[in-house]
Amino acid sequence: MGRADLISDEYREMQRALHENPAYGVASLHYAPLVARIMESVGAEELLDYGAGKGRLGVALQEALQRPLTVHHYEPAMPQWSASPQPCRLVACLDVLEHIEPALLDTVLDDLKRVTAQIGVFSVDTAPAQKVLPDGRNAHLIQQPFEWWLPKLQARFDILSVHPTGRSFWLVVGRKRPWWQRLLARLAGQRGPQMPA
């Protein structure tokens, strides 16, 4: 899947300019302790930060975990991280999906499914952003409630846990398994990896 499938050239340039602002793209820092706990819980030594912005999540995780860690970045607005990422066991996509161009959301979600080899930690802000794009649109191009997002995510992932947080939500997902594997897991009393509270 090429970059043109995931973001338009015009929007990529807008995002690149926005990322020059030090106050833009800071939400991942809020989620770093949570991602660190999940990494510890599942024994992950590498992470794909999908929509990495300036790469702040990776820096925060290195500080929090104090152990060797490989962080792969995907950020189409940053030339050094714009190549299509390889699948990774653990994927973080934090405060990204609401910024996606609506016409490309399904393509981006399909790509997120492609790269999530086992577990994903995703967050979505459902309300307007404080920032405005150069063309006057709100920086959150998609402002939809959790109920709107859920079927889109369920079509691509097994939802392991959901956590509403006022104007946003975060969730832990697993790679979608065939229906018969999910049934067997339920019958056996297995719910997938245990996630921290």
State how far the Cα of 144 lies from the Cα of 120, in Å rounded to an integer: 21
Q: Look up residue 95 and give its two tokens.
A: 């405060």
pTM: 0.88
Quick: pLDDT tens for 113-161.
Answer: 999 999 999 999 999 998 889 899 999 999 999 999 999 999 999 999 9
Strand arrangement of the beta sheet that strand 168-175 belongs to: 70-74, 46-50, 88-94, 116-125, 168-175, 157-164
Asked if residue 175 has pLDDT above 80, the reply is yes
Q: What is the mean pLDDT of the chain?
A: 90
With H, G, I as helix, E, B as strand and everything else as coil, classify residue 21: coil
Percent of the chain with pLDDT over 90: 74
**DSSP letter for each residue of 75-135:** -TTSGGG-SPPPPEEEEEEES-GGGS-GGGHHHHHHHHHHHEEEEEEEEEE-S--S-B-TT
